């Protein structure tokens, strides 16, 4: 079993005049792949102003051989959603209105989250060649059948949820609408990646 | 489709993306379970990319493209610089597949993790979106503290979040400066004069106040800049209450004891007078004896501990043994910032003195310049106009090389002969004071002959000012002597001159500047280097006259930059008056060498060597032998 731990938490942010109120914050979950160490999960909760309220990240995760065999084609969903995502969400003291992710496989965390989980689409992914009319983002699940994404837009942000989760789309649209009119939902993921990089360096430096 | 990892099943999700970043080289498959396109496999646009069984980028799943796998044809590729270790990474703008997409996985947006921080020299991060984010300083060790800064939104977002109004949009390098100051306990903002150090410091202070990280701030500046700071605070942080410490002793005692004053502004001289309340973090003298007043004493203790102390023109504490330096270093504080356009005015000791305030013990006397440069690199942010303000109007030098008038020449020759004779007679008893007395005497005669009032400089200045006045523009004239300025004021009445120097009461100085700024009939401001050389914003002036020259090029630059700074919308012409074949020419020759040395040193390192006039140089002005060592305070 891979070590899963919390390497950083922003307890101070909550004391510095930012009052965490459940239901008025938003979660951002991502998984970063490091060539040397494996997968790092990061979960950042922001208030409506984009200020950090909580941050959790994992120690690097590597799938065992047994997991690879057992989970087979669903290994990634297991790692991103259940192994990493669920752990991070459980660590959090706040309950966000919506959980955003930029990793499609992390959508699997939905079964452990009371809030809808949406995929934030990178604008660059949408610039598909004209030869692929529908192909701005394609996801073909062979053995498990289709799990196409239902795309929608909120403000300047392009989002998606699994097709079967139309209610999530409605909820996410409703909850994000007033907040994201001018905000870039992809930007917090950059912060998480920087934080993970910092945590990784700290781990490497001090063990 | 097959794989070289038999335990991995066939892929269930095939995704592809354009515009992904492909790191160079193949990462070890066994170690990282991650691989990438070998660079060699990416051909020119239009060529088949898969030539020799490359592997695709797929976290957790490793796929090897076999001959039966569809070939990747790159449509366009652009190099984006070194990402990993092997070579330049390539950004694939778009690609198509011959048959169907290979089993690649969407990489989270952005570049893969590297060990390099995308930091600028000042520690601010400027990501691809152009926003300025806060990077923690190197001396912040605790991971939680570092993450707290990293996870903050950009400076732009912080400003927008609280709807903090700014009078104008800061330039990108100024936001970088704000991001540099924001997380730092100790910092020097050493931007060249005119780049907006005051505004950057105030904006950083404002953001820290709104983040709840500051409650009490003390700004220490030269007396002449107090009003300027007050004005800038009202512009850039109008919601922050500011108190200027001043008045008689009782009033100042009361001002220091007030608990709920977010920002205090005090001048250096006043600080020395009030050291009794500042140096001791415990008690105000005379209060501790009375038990009834112990509450007041405790309140005072709280009041005199500052969250931040900002030293403007911090070269004022360059004399580490001086009272000013001792007093500011004794102030209890959490954060220490220094603002200066000339962190090294004369010699390396100037910088070390500032660091004794910022981070005591960081620099040692036995350190070599390169070691010092490394030690302070995370504490100092310095930008020059050339680096960041290419659009600033040009600075034009028009040196006026003059001859003494006959009456001046006669007086000058007599004074020089007598002075040199006296120095020669003194022999080894001659001190630097004697030399200075003679230099000052001769320089004053170069300005004007006190006996006859003859002045070639005045004649030239009057002619130039007529041109200035006819063009409708404004001019400032610098001199190091108040007497000269007052003498000039009497002879240039036609130009309605205003005066700004040490004999103008501080409370009247702001009115002088306001009148000069607003009254279209006032074309001329006479300023002393001492009172107006720093901190003033006179960018509406197009002409600067240096009626006499200061000892140090950095001070002259400071003076010139009163006009040539952000906001200047027309070229600034600088006229440096120099009387040939006199002491002025000899000093100028040495200063020019110093200036070249300064430029050379700052081009290679941030640690300039000694720049002041040495005792040998001063005695050498009169071809005399130097009896002692270097002069420590030439400027």
CB contact under 8 A, B125 and A194: yes
The pair of structure tokens assigned to B296 is 């007041």
pLDDT at B630 exceeding the cut of 80: no
Q: How far is CA B190 from the centre of its chain?
A: 2
| B219: exposed, middle or buried (Cβ count in 10 Å: 0-12, 13-18, 19+) | buried
CA distances, B428 to each of B48, B122, B626 (Å): 87, 50, 8
pLDDT of residue B620: 67
CATH class label, B395-620: alpha beta
pLDDT of residue A130: 33
- Point out which residues pair with B242 in neighbouring strands: B263
pLDDT at B227 exceeding the cut of 60: yes
The C-alpha atoms of residue B354 and residue B359 are separated, in whole angstroms, by 9
CB contact under 8 A, A8 and B14: no
Segment A76-86, tens digit of pLDDT: 888 999 899 99
Residue A184 included in any domain: yes
pLDDT of residue B533: 66
SS3 state of residue B307: strand
Helix pair B348-358, B369-376: axis angle to 10 deg: 30
A153 falls in which pLDDT band (50, 70, 90)?
A: confident
Residues 6+ apart with CB under 8 A from A49: B153, B161, B162
Residue A2 included in any domain: no
Which residue's structure tokens are 């001090």? A206
Residue A1 included in any domain: no
Backbone angles phi, psi at B284, to 5 degrees: -80, 130
R_g of chain B computed on alpha carbons: 31
The pair of structure tokens assigned to A170 is 């409605």
Question: What value does the mean pLDDT take over residues A194-206?
Answer: 80
> How many domains does chain A fold into?
1
Question: What value does the mean pLDDT take over residues A134-144?
Answer: 40
CB contact under 8 A, B12 and A50: no
pLDDT at B212 exceeding the cut of 70: yes
Residue A206 included in any domain: no
Residue with more model confidence, B281 or A107: A107
The C-alpha atoms of residue B247 and residue B255 are separated, in whole angstroms, by 10
Distance from CA of B158 to the nearest CA of A (A): 8
Distance from CA of B59 to the nearest CA of A (A): 7
Strands laid side by side in the B217-221 sheet: B242-244, B263-267, B217-221, B306-312, B333-339, B186-189, B380-381
CB contact under 8 A, B17 and A125: yes
The C-alpha atoms of residue B440 and residue B445 are separated, in whole angstroms, by 9
Distance from CA of A114 to the nearest CA of B (A): 24
pLDDT of residue B383: 85
Segment B66-89, tens digit of pLDDT: 333 333 333 333 333 322 222 333
The C-alpha atoms of residue B220 and residue B274 are separated, in whole angstroms, by 13
CB contact under 8 A, B127 and A55: no
Q: Residues 130 to 189 of B: which have CB under 8 A from any A CB?
A: 131, 133, 136, 143-148, 150-154, 157, 161-162
Ranking A74-83, A87-96, B15-24, B421-430 by mean pLDDT, the lowest is B15-24
pLDDT at A191 exceeding the cut of 50: yes
Please choose, from the candidates B202, B192, B140, the residue with its C-alpha nearest in 3D space to the C-alpha of residue B170: B202
Residue of B1, B35, B36, B60 best to disrupt the A interface, most CBs of A under 10 A: B60
* CB contact at 8 A, B497 and B526: yes
Ranking B133-137, B241-245, B467-471, B620-624 by mean pLDDT, the lowest is B620-624
Give the highest mean pLDDT range of A22-31, B332-341, B370-379: B332-341
- C-alpha atoms less than 13 angstroms from C-alpha of A179 in its C-beta half-sphere: 20
Segment A28-71, tens digit of pLDDT: 999 998 888 889 999 999 988 788 999 998 888 888 888 888 88
pLDDT of residue B265: 96
Q: Which of B10, B110, B136 sits opposite A142 (nearest CB)?
A: B10
Residue A6 included in any domain: no
CB contact under 8 A, B17 and A137: yes
Residue of A194, A203, A205, A206 best to disrupt the B interface, most CBs of B under 10 A: A194
CA distances, B598 to each of A98, B348, B554, B609, B635 (Å): 57, 12, 9, 8, 15
The C-alpha atoms of residue B126 and residue A108 are separated, in whole angstroms, by 33
CB contact under 8 A, A186 and B109: yes
B522 falls in which pLDDT band (50, 70, 90)?
A: confident
Ranking A88-92, A134-138, B549-553, B623-627 by mean pLDDT, the lowest is A134-138
Segment B315-345, tens digit of pLDDT: 889 888 889 999 999 999 999 999 988 777 6
Q: Whole-number mean pLDDT of chain A? A: 76
Distance from CA of A61 to the nearest CA of B (A): 11
Q: Which of B113, B129, B148 sits opposite A197 (nearest CB)?
A: B113
CATH number of residue A67's parent domain: 3.30.2170
| 3-state class percentages of chain A: helix first, strand second, coil last, to nearest 5 | 35, 25, 40
pLDDT of residue A113: 92
Given the cut 0.90, state whether the ipTM is greater than it: no
pLDDT of residue B181: 95
- Evaluate whether B171-388 and B395-620 have a shared fold: yes
CATH class label, B171-388: alpha beta
The C-alpha atoms of residue B617 and residue B621 are separated, in whole angstroms, by 6
Q: What residues does each domain of chain B span? A: 1-116, 171-388, 395-620
Question: What value does the mean pLDDT take over residues A100-118?
Answer: 91
Residue with more model confidence, A138 or B422: B422
Residues 6+ apart with CB under 8 A from B364: none
CB contact under 8 A, A33 and B213: no
CB contact under 8 A, B13 and A103: no
The pair of structure tokens assigned to B372 is 């010092």
pLDDT at A20 exceeding the cut of 80: no
* CB contact at 8 A, B176 and B132: yes
Residue B307 in contact with partner chain A when CB distance is under 8 A: no
pLDDT of residue A180: 64
Question: What value does the mean pLDDT take over residues A110-129?
Answer: 75
Looking at chain B, the whole-number percentage of residues with pLDDT higher than 70 is 67
The C-alpha atoms of residue A45 and residue B574 are separated, in whole angstroms, by 56
Residue with more model confidence, B425 or B292: B425
Residue A128 included in any domain: no
Give the highest mean pLDDT range of A14-18, B6-10, B51-55: A14-18
Residue B110 in contact with partner chain A when CB distance is under 8 A: yes
CB contact under 8 A, A195 and B150: yes
pLDDT at B474 exceeding the cut of 70: yes
Segment B397-455, tens digit of pLDDT: 877 888 899 999 999 999 999 988 888 888 777 787 888 888 899 999 999 999 899 99
pLDDT at A147 exceeding the cut of 70: no
CB contact under 8 A, A191 and B101: no
The C-alpha atoms of residue B40 and residue B326 are separated, in whole angstroms, by 64
Range of the domain at A17: 11-122+139-201
pLDDT of residue B520: 85
pLDDT at A7 exceeding the cut of 90: no
Which residue's structure tokens are 């022999």? B427
């Amino acid at each position: 079993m891979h070590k899963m731990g919390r390497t950083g938490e922003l307890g101070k942010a909550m004391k510095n005049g930012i009052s965490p109120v459940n239901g008025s914050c938003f979660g951002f979950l991502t998984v970063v792949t490091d060539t040397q160490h494996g997968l790092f999960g990061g979960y950042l909760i922001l208030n409506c102003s984009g200020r950090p309220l909580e941050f959790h990240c994992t120690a690097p995760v590597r799938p065992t051989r047994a997991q690879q065999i057992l989970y087979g084609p669903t290994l990634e969903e297991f790692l991103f959603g259940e192994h990493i995502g669920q752990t991070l969400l459980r660590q959090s003291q706040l309950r966000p209105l919506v959980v955003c992710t930029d990793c499609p496989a992390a959508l699997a965390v939905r079964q452990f989250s009371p809030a809808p989980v949406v995929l934030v689409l990178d604008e660059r992914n949408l610039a598909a060649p004209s030869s692929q009319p529908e192909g701005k983002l394609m996801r073909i699940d062979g053995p498990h059948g289709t799990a196409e994404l239902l795309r929608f837009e909120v403000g300047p942000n392009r989002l998606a949820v699994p097709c079967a989760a139309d209610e999530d789309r409605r909820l996410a649209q409703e909850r994000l609408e007033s907040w994201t009119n001018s905000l870039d939902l992809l930007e917090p993921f950059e912060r998480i990646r920087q934080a993970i990089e910092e945590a990784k360096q700290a781990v490497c430096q001090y063990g | 489709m097959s794989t070289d990892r038999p335990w991995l099943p066939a892929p269930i999700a095939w995704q592809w993306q354009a515009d992904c970043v492909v790191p160079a080289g193949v990462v070890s498959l066994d170690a990282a379970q991650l691989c990438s396109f070998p660079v060699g496999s990416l051909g020119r646009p239009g060529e088949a990319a898969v030539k020799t069984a490359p592997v695709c980028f797929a976290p957790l799943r490793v796929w090897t493209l076999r001959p039966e796998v569809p070939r990747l044809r790159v449509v366009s590729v652009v190099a984006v610089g070194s990402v990993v270790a092997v070579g330049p990474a390539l950004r694939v703008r778009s690609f198509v597949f011959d048959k169907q997409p290979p089993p690649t996985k969407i990489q989270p947006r952005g570049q893969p993790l590297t060990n390099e921080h995308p930091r600028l020299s000042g520690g601010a991060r400027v990501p691809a979106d152009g926003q300025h984010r806060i990077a923690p300083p190197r001396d912040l060790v605790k991971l939680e503290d570092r993450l707290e800064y990293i996870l903050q939104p950009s400076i732009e977002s912080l400003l927008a979040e609280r709807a903090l109004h700014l009078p104008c949009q800061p330039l990108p390098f100024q936001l970088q400066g704000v991001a540099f100051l924001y997380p730092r306990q100790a910092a020097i903002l050493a931007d060249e004069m005119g780049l907006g150090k005051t505004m950057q410091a105030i904006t950083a202070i404002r953001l820290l106040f709104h983040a709840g990280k500051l409650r009490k701030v003390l700004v220490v500046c030269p007396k002449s800049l107090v009003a300027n700071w007050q004005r800038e605070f009202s512009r850039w942080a109008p919601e922050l209450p500011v108190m200027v410490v001043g008045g008689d002793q009782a009033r100042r005692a009361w001002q220091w004891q007030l608990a709920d004053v977010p920002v205090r502004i005090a001048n250096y001289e006043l600080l020395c007078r009030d050291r009794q309340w500042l140096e001791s973090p415990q008690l105000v003298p005379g209060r501790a004896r009375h038990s009834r007043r112990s509450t007041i004493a405790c309140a005072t203790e709280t009041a005199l501990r500052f969250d931040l102390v900002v030293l403007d023109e911090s070269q004022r504490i360059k004399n580490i043994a001086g009272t000013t330096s001792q007093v500011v270093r004794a102030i209890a504080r959490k954060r220490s910032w220094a603002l200066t356009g000339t962190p090294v005015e004369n010699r390396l000791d100037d910088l070390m003195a500032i660091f004794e305030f910022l981070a005591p013990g960081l620099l040692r006397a036995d350190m070599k310049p390169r070691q010092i440069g490394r030690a302070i690199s995370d504490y100092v942010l310095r930008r020059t106009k050339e680096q960041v303000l290419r659009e600033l109007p040009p600075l034009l030098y028009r040196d006026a090389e003059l001859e003494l008038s006959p009456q001046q020449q006669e007086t000058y020759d007599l004074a020089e002969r007598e002075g040199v004779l006296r120095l020669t007679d003194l022999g080894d008893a001659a001190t630097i004071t004697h030399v200075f007395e003679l230099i000052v005497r001769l320089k004053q005669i170069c300005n004007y002959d006190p006996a006859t009032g003859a002045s070639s400089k005045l004649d030239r200045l009057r002619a130039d000012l007529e041109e200035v006045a006819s063009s409708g523009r404004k001019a400032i004239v610098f001199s190091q002597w108040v007497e000269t300025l007052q003498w000039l004021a009497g002879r240039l009445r036609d130009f309605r001159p205003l005066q700004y120097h040490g004999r103008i009461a501080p409370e009247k100085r702001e009115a002088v500047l306001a009148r000069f700024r607003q009254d279209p009939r006032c074309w001329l401001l006479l300023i002393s280097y001492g009172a107006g050389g720093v901190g003033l914003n006179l960018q509406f002036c197009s002409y600067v006259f240096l009626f006499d020259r200061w000892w140090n090029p950095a001070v002259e630059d400071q003076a010139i930059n009163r006009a040539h700074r952000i906001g200047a919308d027309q070229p600034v012409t600088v006229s440096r008056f120099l009387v040939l074949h006199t002491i002025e020419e000899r000093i100028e020759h040495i200063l020019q060498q110093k200036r070249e040395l300064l430029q050379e040193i700052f081009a290679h390192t941030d640690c300039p060597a000694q720049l002041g006039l040495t005792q040998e140089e001063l005695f050498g002005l009169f071809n005399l032998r130097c009896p002692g060592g270097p002069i420590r305070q030439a400027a």
